[in-house]
Amino acid sequence: MCGAEVVSQVVAGPPPDDLTPTGGGLGAARPWGRSRVDAAWRALDDVLDPEVPALSVRDLGIVRDVIDHGDALEVVLTPTYSGCPATEVIEKSVVDALVAAGLGPVRATTRRAPAWTTDWISDEGRRKLREYGIAPPSGHAAASTGEAPIRLVRRSDEAVACPRCGSTHTERLSAFGSTACKALWRCLACREPFEQFKPI
Ligand SMILES: [Zn+2]
């Protein structure tokens, strides 16, 4: 909503189908040039996910694109779990951060397909999760399409490593942790409970 307000002054219609930045347009009217997009990506490193503050929205992989339309910057976001209420908060944080960085006007748009998967969490994001004490989601979650029965079997067999000691001698205590996005586990080696970012 905030993004829509910001951009309503400069964007008359829907974004053009061809989202490729027009060549030759990087003149005085667009002082940022290419670096406006780069600067936006850098600024997005500092926008943290409200539910997992260890991760930025980039680590999480929900920023799918940053497009310089010349008059406005468009940030394309794909929400994570549909049940997570954080999407609007994230949109506002993204727009606010980029405007604060002097990159406005900015609008956030949502792309729901393909659906977000925990496979999009970056390696850096996985490392940060572990440091934060949360087991990162195991890979290959994206194989869910058409593989649901196989996936169920594999999930239950899958070893989740303790983020503290690295042991895979762990057991799941509950399908839900502090949020619906996480499961509660316990390490049988170091006895510590921990949360896992559930793979989807
Ligand atoms: Zn442990």
Domain boundaries along the sequence of the chain = 5-111, 154-200
Lookup: tokens for 26: 């990087």
Q: What is the pLDDT of residue 80?
A: 82
- Burial group, residue 98, by CB count within 10 angstroms (0-12, 13-18, 19+): buried
Distance 76 CA to ligand 1 centre (A): 38
- For the question of whether the overall pTM of this predicted structure is more than 0.85, the answer is no
Distance 63 CA to ligand 1 centre (A): 32
Distance 128 CA to ligand 1 centre (A): 17
Q: What is the pLDDT of residue 144?
A: 43
Q: Is residue 10's pLDDT more than 60?
A: no
Distance 144 CA to ligand 1 centre (A): 29
Highest mean pLDDT (candidates 78-87, 94-103, 170-179): 94-103
Query: pLDDT grade, residue 180 (50/70/90)?
Result: confident
Distance 127 CA to ligand 1 centre (A): 16
Distance 167 CA to ligand 1 centre (A): 5
Distance 171 CA to ligand 1 centre (A): 11
- Burial group, residue 83, by CB count within 10 angstroms (0-12, 13-18, 19+): exposed
Q: What is the pLDDT of residue 181?
A: 81
Q: What is the pLDDT of the chain when averaged over all its residues? A: 78
Distance 132 CA to ligand 1 centre (A): 14
Distance 170 CA to ligand 1 centre (A): 8
Distance 106 CA to ligand 1 centre (A): 44
Q: What is the pLDDT of residue 2?
A: 37
Q: What class, spelled out in words, does domain 5-111 have in CATH?
A: alpha beta
What single letter denotes the amino acid at residue 145?
T
Distance 131 CA to ligand 1 centre (A): 13
More confident residue, 85 or 109: 109
Distance 52 CA to ligand 1 centre (A): 21
pLDDT digits 0-9 by tens, 16-42: 433 334 433 333 344 555 689 999 999
Distance CA 97, CA 108 (A): 12
